[in-house]
Structure 1
Amino acid sequence: MKPRAVVFAYHNVGVRCLQVLLARGVDVALVVTHEDSASENIWFGSVAQVAAEHGIETIMPADPKASELQAKIASIGPDFIFSFYYRHMLPVSLLALARRGAYNMHGSLLPKYRGRVPTNWAVINGETESGATLHEMLAKPDAGAIVAQTPVPILPDDTAAMVFDKTVVAAEQTLWRVLPALLAGEAPRLPNDLAAGSYYGGRKPEDGRIDWSQSAPRVYNLIRAVAPPYPGAFTDIDSNRFIVARARLVPETGAPGISAERLGDLRRLPIGLSVADNALFGVCGNGRVIAIHELRHRVLNADAQPVGEERAVDPAEFGRIIQSSRHS
């Protein structure tokens, strides 16, 4: 008899891990997912669509603590409950309905980066490695025993989106590799030493505001961590918001097209965004320079909130916007 599971899932990790369960012959009796938010940039795959293609019943409750949901899952009598990037904590009473255990796929190498948006935080903090961890679910988030994990590298110029793509693959590989042992009741239970780890909360678009007085590596890490499809790192000048969509930290020895002599001139520019030789640069508090390869613009209203369409601007247009703003 096939093992029966209820799956809570969303986003690309949810898509791929659901597909792994199906490929391994698990009877997925119910998929619980989220409705896409009209205010969110939906750049990822649809768990609901995958479930529909396989004829799996799918529901989107607003509250996973609802008694109706628990009654429905109890009637299914699942062997396993899985959570793959589902955005709500599941109550212990619900987890207890899984006869053989409840497991979550987390986007970090636990115990590091427990909590929200671990990939973005890892890039912000300049980490060189992240990954995916399958672990038992408890009342406390990301605190249960580790079943399996797979590391991925974070390269110096990787954006969070690039790292997340690697994490999706790592999650798929982790589940594929350990699932036979899990179904057979032979999976390991490795310690998840919370004292040796870290916990981070969620992030808001406002957290992408650039403080140019910080060191260039810190500013560059922020730019990488929230680059599109995330909201982006930004700086406000008068009634204009400029979002740094693509950039590169200029090495202290210079770079192609930027000689050591020219780099010295750039370092003497004021802190913040500047145009030099028809190119955009950000000068940081430690004197180092970030080359801006794509800059986007939005107008700010009287409440300093962005309005209207976001659009790319070149160095010449950036200069015109600044000049016009300061003479208006």
Structure 2
Amino acid sequence: MNDKKRAVVFAYHNVGVRCLKVLLAGGVDVALVVTHQDSATENIWFESVISVCEAEGIPYITPDSAKGEGLLAQVKAAQPDLIFSFYYRHMLPAELLEIAPAYNMHGSLLPKFRGRAPVNWAVLHGATEIGATLHEMTVKPDAGAIIAQTAVPILPDDTAHDVFGKVEVAAEITLWRVLPDLLAGAAPRTINDLASGSYFSGRKPEDGRIDWSKPASEVYNLHRAVAPPYPGAFTDIGGHRYIIERARLARRPLPSLPPGLAVVDNAVFGVCGDGRALAITSLLADGAPITPSELSSRLAKATNS
């Protein structure tokens, strides 16, 4: 008799890949994977859940929405004992959650940073710690009881991409440690105290626009939060868009210069409202690298025009 637990898995991105592999290594019978087709308009820097399914011979589908009778019927037909969501981009409706106990992996230490883009928001707010949380799924996002979580540090110069790499590992560790108890129906549950946490919505590329009047620490956190492969922190000057690719907080202040981009001793700086600056080691102009001398010429033309 086959006593393996059957699961339907909603998954995407690196966390989806890692957690799907944990389920397989843990002896779970993955009957169906629901994922996304990669968007032609998105910078795809992450691994493919579809590739894992094809390599492992797992049936998968890529519906446009998590709603609809067709998807509901396919999930029911799989007869899952458990449902998992690992960085799937759509909320699962109540009809799906009623089929079997459902669990989601969220990229923060719930109840902090509930909602979309938790890593980016955590870096933007100067958080020093984040992690991954496996929790029961409810219709309300990231509100179900906490099953397990693992913390990782956010170092002062980590970008969101750096931190996301840590969260991937935290998600894998979290699921691996609790999976035996979860399959045995003996996993612990902790109340998810939403009143003590925080909720954030999604982010848009426009949210990366720099306000140079802000203190350097805030501008630096914005850069770290959206640095490539995310869209990047940017400023528009003279009809050109400049995106900061790499930067650090400058050791010396530049109080004599007005806020904005500047070139000093053949080096690029972003001067902020408190007189401190970002030392920019890689700057993109309309998508292409620009040298300090080229930028200096452009800034002079913009000032004189």
Q: TM-score, normalised by structure 1?
A: 0.91
Map of 2:96 onto structure 1: 94
Paired-residue identity, %: 66
Q: Identify the residue that residue 109 of structure 1 maps to in structure 2.
A: 109
Match of 1:321 in 2: 298
Unaligned runs of 5+ in 1: 255-262, 299-309
How far off is 1:282 after superposition?
1.1
Q: How does 1:207-226 map to 2 (within 5 A)?
A: 207-226=207-226
Aligned partners of 1:218, 1:322: CA distance in 2, in Å? 24
CA distance in 2, matches of 1:52, 1:143: 33
Tell me which amino acid in the other structure corresponds to 2:140: K
The separation in 1 between residues aligned to 2:259 and 2:71, in whole angstroms, is 54
Paired residue for 1:204? 204
Which residue in 2 is equivalent to 1:307?
Answer: none
Whether 1:34 aligns to 2:43 is no
**Counterpart pick for 1:280 among 247, 268, 272:** 268
Shift of 1:55: 0.3
**AA at the equivalent of 2:279:** A
Match of 1:83 in 2: 85
In structure 1, the residue matched to 2:138 is 138
Amino acid at match of 1:7: V
Give 1:238 shift.
1.6
Shift >3 Å, 4+ stretches: 323-328
Count of paired positions: 303
The alpha-carbon deviation at position 267 of structure 1 amounts to 2.2
How far 1:321 moved relative to its partner? Answer: 2.5
SS in structure 1 of the partner of residue 165 of structure 2: helix
- Letter of the 2:4 counterpart: K
Q: Which residues in structure 2 correspond to 1:1-328 (within 5 Å)?
A: 1-98=3-100, 101-250=101-250, 254=251, 263=252, 266-298=254-286, 310-325=287-302
DSSP-derived class of the 1:267 partner: coil
Cα distance in 1, alignment partners of residues 231 and 66 from structure 2 = 28
Query: CA–CA distance in 2 between the matches of 1:183 and 1:220?
Result: 44
3-state SS, counterpart of residue 82 of structure 1: strand
TM-score normalized with structure 2 length: 0.97
In the TM superposition, residue 249 of structure 1 has moved relative to its aligned partner by 0.8
Contact conserved, 1:239 with 1:325, CA < 8 A, in 2?
no
In 1, distance between residues paired with 2:217 and 2:169? Answer: 28
Tell me how far apart the structure 1 counterparts of residues 157 and 255 of structure 2 sit (CA, whole Å).
Answer: 21
Amino acid of the residue matched to residue 80 of structure 1?
Answer: L
Q: Is the 8 A contact 1:132 1:149 kept in 2?
A: yes
> What's the offset of the Cα at 1:33?
0.2
C-alpha distance after superposition, 1:248-276 (max 9, x if no partner): 012xxx3xxxxxxxx35x22111111000
Question: Structure 2 CA distance, aligned partners of 1:84 and 1:273?
Answer: 40
For residue 324 of structure 1, report the CA deviation from its aligned partner: 4.2
Distance in 2 of aligned mates of 1:218 and 1:325: 26
1:72 Cα deviation (Å)?
A: 1.1
**Amino acid of the residue matched to residue 320 of structure 1?**
S
Contact 1:243 1:297 in 2 (8 A): yes
Aligned partner letter, 2:290: V
Q: Please state whether the residue corresponding to 1:319 is helix, strand or coil.
A: helix
Alignment partners' CA distance in 2, 1:193 and 1:327:
57
Q: Which amino acid aligns with 1:282?
A: G
Aligned to 2:15, what secondary structure does the other structure show?
helix
The aligned amino acid for 1:312 is P
**In structure 2, distance between residues paired with 1:66 and 1:80:** 20
> Structure 1 residue 326: deviation in Å?
5.3
Question: Helix, strand or coil for the counterpart of 1:7?
Answer: strand
CA deviations over 1:121-167 (Å, ceiling 9, x no partner): 00000000000000000010000000000000000000000000000
Contact kept, 8 Å, 1:110 with 1:192, in 2: the verdict is: yes
Give the Å deviation of 1:322.
2.7
Is the contact made by 1:121 and 1:200 (CA closer than 8 Å) also made in structure 2?
yes
- Give RMSD over aligned pairs: 1.0
Residue 62 of structure 1 aligns to a residue in which SS?
Answer: coil
Q: Secondary structure at the match of 2:170?
A: helix
Structure 2 residue runs without a partner (length 5+): none
